Structure 1
């Protein structure tokens, strides 16, 4: 029988295979640090760092930050990576408790993973990233010993399925809802979609930024790149049956994925030194990525903090809005 530990390990290896892993910004192509290990090497380094001194490890700080950023985007890849790099220290303990207390080993392991995930959620704010790993491990150990003395199981594999399962249908509903922010009074979703795209296009034109959007649109039309919306979501968009679904994208796709902490602090209206203090105290309002000695801030996370909706738009609507804002001159 495949237990939850093995499932997590297999799922993570299926994601990364033998490709290089970037724990700094999540994308090897966008990272300033050019040397990246395969997942096997990365995991070995993470295990060694966790055993020696997780609270002082920049690698674990980066992993926790990437996990938080992944959560914001609705994914679970880096959360699974963190579990996979913690689980080796769970294996022998769960086997020993199952043997000594004569309880089901799989139940113990499921309880440990479920508890670690609860700690992960509970430490999202107010806990410095360097302390998260050790809190997850301690809580999992505690619940393993408690489960060893329990008469019945509080956790089951069904609980873990809920934690790890994809929530695509929920994400799709949320994306559709957020895509009509500021045009909620418009009942026709097709009209609402056009309005929000035209508004963004007009804004880009007025700010003198439309040339960058035009270049991005050219690459989309030529098929040299695509937006970050997956096919399942494209199929559910209001006008996908009359518009080319490959020409939809998130507004955030127009911007770099990450900016430096100094630039982010300016947008947030605080000093860079204050931003550093908040990060060290675990009180920064959203997760940041660690890249060597510096920090990188996710533009999507920054947009969410500022209340800027990351709308799904179509290139035709953006261009129509920009054309109108320019007085019809191109």
Structure 2
């Protein structure tokens, strides 16, 4: 039976296959950097960079950032990648301890993975990204030696097991009321859903960007693209085409520049750079070459900007109403 190290490697390889891997913004099509390696090459580079000097590696800074961004969306993909690019340096030590101290190698390896994940969760804020990988390795080595000396402790394996469960759909966040009517207090969920969409449409109309929104809607209606809402049952989905729902954030680019994000947050760009270097920026940022990219969804979540699920018809009706019924 394959041990935990092999399971992590196989699952990571199956997730990416032979497709190119983008560690900058997570999507090759949206990335400004055009050359991306296949996963096997990416993994080899990451393992080598981790062993040589992870704290000074831009690659590992990007890997840690992508792991944090995926965690915000409830996605374990890059957490799995982090483990897959870290556990190879656990192999020889776990084998040696198991042989020298006559303990089960699989138990040591499982404990090392669980410990590395505990460290990962504990370094989200306040630890510079360049130090995260080394802390995971150090803690995993320490727990391996404790197992060898017979002073192992019970550890939760929940974080390990979740990596091998079936994927669960992410749930959309609720839209907070910003006007006289509190949508969250409307008893009829279908009416609340409709009002959310119409408010967004009226706002977009006021911003003068309805033409671009209509292009997006036409692409959804014709099946040329889809929103990011998957298997989420909305109150009126039985009478309204469920394929025509999308998150408001689908209208925005996935990433924006650090200067623009800092402006939204009310700080100067230099302050944002200092926070990133100190590991104190309030959410992960991606690294693309020499610049940083900020996830728009992560920024929205931090600023408490609602990311509502809306229907194309409701948005367009709200925009039409805002113009007094004139297209």
Q: What is the TM-score when the length of structure 1 is the normalising length?
A: 0.94
The reply on whether 1:260 has 2:257 as its aligned counterpart is: yes
CA distance in 2, matches of 1:152, 1:86: 22
CA distance in 2, matches of 1:158, 1:195: 40
Matched residue of 1:259: which SS? strand
CA distance in 2, matches of 1:258, 1:159: 28
Counterpart contact for 2:63–2:82, Cα < 8 Å: yes
Q: Which residue of structure 1 lines up, in the alignment, with residue 280 of structure 2?
A: 283
Counterpart contact for 2:175–2:306, Cα < 8 Å: no
Q: Which residue of structure 2 lines up, in the alignment, with residue 97 of structure 1?
A: 97
Counterpart contact for 1:258–1:296, Cα < 8 Å: yes
Shift of 1:129: 0.4
Matched residue of 1:168: which SS? coil
Q: Which residue of structure 2 lines up, in the alignment, with residue 45 of structure 1?
A: 45
Show structure 2 runs of 5+ residues with no match: 178-182
Counterpart contact for 2:114–2:160, Cα < 8 Å: yes
Q: Which residue of structure 2 lines up, in the alignment, with residue 317 of structure 1?
A: 314
Residue 269 of structure 1: which of 266, 271, 276 is its match? 266
Shift of 1:211: 1.6
Q: Deviations over 1:124-151 (max 9, x none)?
A: 0011100000000000111111122236
Q: Which residue of structure 1 lines up, in the alignment, with residue 235 of structure 2?
A: 238
Residue 179 of structure 1: which of 170, 174, 183 is its match? 174
CA distance in 1, matches of 2:43, 2:272: 30
CA distance in 2, matches of 1:80, 1:6: 12
The reply on whether 1:202 has 2:188 as its aligned counterpart is: no
CA distance in 1, matches of 2:246, 2:120: 31
The reply on whether 1:140 has 2:135 as its aligned counterpart is: no
Q: What is the TM-score when the length of structure 2 is the normalising length?
A: 0.94
CA distance in 1, matches of 2:43, 2:56: 17
Residue 247 of structure 2: which of 231, 246, 250 is its match? 250
Counterpart contact for 2:20–2:38, Cα < 8 Å: yes
Matched residue of 2:185: which SS? coil
CA distance in 2, matches of 1:162, 1:300: 24
Shift of 1:210: 1.6
Matched residue of 2:292: which SS? strand
- Shift of the 30–204 alpha-carbon distance from structure 1 to 2, 3 Å rule, reads same
Within-5 A mapping of 1:109-124: 109-124=109-124
Q: Deviations over 1:102-133 (max 9, x none)?
A: 11111111111111111111000011100000
- Shift of the 212–252 alpha-carbon distance from structure 1 to 2, 3 Å rule, reads same
Shift of 1:156: 7.4
Q: Which residue of structure 1 lines up, in the alignment, with residue 291 of structure 2?
A: 294
- Shift of the 156–17 alpha-carbon distance from structure 1 to 2, 3 Å rule, reads same
CA distance in 2, matches of 1:199, 1:129: 39
Counterpart contact for 2:175–2:307, Cα < 8 Å: no
More helix by share: 1
- Shift of the 82–54 alpha-carbon distance from structure 1 to 2, 3 Å rule, reads same
Q: Which residue of structure 2 lines up, in the alignment, with residue 60 of structure 1?
A: 60
Q: Deviations over 1:243-274 (max 9, x none)?
A: 11111111100000001111111111111111
CA distance in 2, matches of 1:157, 1:279: 31
Shift of 1:168: 2.3
CA distance in 1, matches of 2:85, 2:311: 40
Counterpart contact for 1:110–1:156, Cα < 8 Å: no
